[in-house]
Amino acid sequence: APTSERFPLLCKVLDAREKLSIQVHPPAEIASSLGGEPKTEMWYIAAADPGATLYVGLRSGMDREAFEENLNNGTLEECVHTIYPKAGEHIFIPSGRLHAIGGGLLIYEIQQNSDTTYRVYDWNRMGLDGKPRDLHVEQSLQCIDFGDCEPSMDVADGKVIASCDHFRVEKHKFSVGESIDSALAGRFGIVTVLTGSIKGQNSESGKGAFVLVTHGLKEGRVTAGENGGEFLVTTWPDQS
């Protein structure tokens, strides 16, 4: 693993029943001055209700002045770009990219191990105490990439669906009994079960599981289950 005081990645299952706040994570060159940590992530859409939305980046022609005006007026939704994702699609969210997850989405998230999130807008909702939730407007405005307009869902490069300085994510399909660690070629990996199941020596894990596979594992020790399946394989970025 890269030299680190802690495990460098976080893997999450996000089951959004209502839309989340519009937020941003600080880029590396800004994070320390704000007392935070950078966080780049990627989303794989595991399931999507009809009409479910992602809010990613800004609408074309939107600049910082217009953004702040809408923010002050409580109409920031007019500034944010909307995407209607489908199950099986994916998108990269670098630090500095404005984003929010809408309701009706089940997402597998792979990210840097950081919890720094700045909320810039929460749809004018009230918290459980009847007061507006705390926002981080000043920090957000320093972090948002205002040149990031109308991004779309990403297209895979072969089996690679995301690759950056922090992680590499591949998507593989295996038939029944096929060696999953053959795709790792001795690398460490986090295998996410999209469909089917994964079998180890003494266990079997189904859809939605995240399985850590140690480096140097003898090929054939981890295989696809009885019906085969599709899997995400996350590794370090310098392993190809």
State yes or no: is 119 an active-site residue: yes
pLDDT, position 240 = 46
Distance CA 135, CA 198 (A): 42
**pTM listed for this prediction:** 0.93
Half-sphere exposure of 219 (CA within 13 A, CB side): 7
pLDDT surpasses 90 at 208: yes
Report, as an integer, the average pLDDT of 97-123: 96
Region of 115 please: left (phi>0), alpha (psi -120 to 50) or beta. Answer: alpha
3-state secondary structure of 45: strand
Distance CA 233, CA 223 (A): 13
Report, as an integer, the average pLDDT of 122-139: 89
pLDDT surpasses 50 at 47: yes
Q: Specify the amino acid at residue 181.
A: D
pLDDT, position 218 = 67
Confidence of residue 11 (pLDDT cuts 50, 70, 90): very high
The residues, ordered by sequence, that sit 6+ positions from 101 with a Cβ below 8 Å of its Cβ are 14, 16, 19, 20, 43, 54, 55, 107
pLDDT, position 2 = 66
Sign for the CA dihedral angle at 149, 152, 156, 160 comes to positive
E strand intervals along the chain = 9-16, 22-24, 41-48, 54-58, 80-83, 90-93, 99-101, 105-112, 118-121, 160-163, 168-174, 189-193, 197-199, 204-206, 210-213, 223-224, 229-235
Candidates 119, 125, 133, 187; catalytic one:
119
Q: Specify the amino acid at residue 42.
A: M
3-state secondary structure of 68: helix
Q: What token pair was written down for 66? A: 């217009």
> Pick the residue with more confidence: 131 or 146?
146
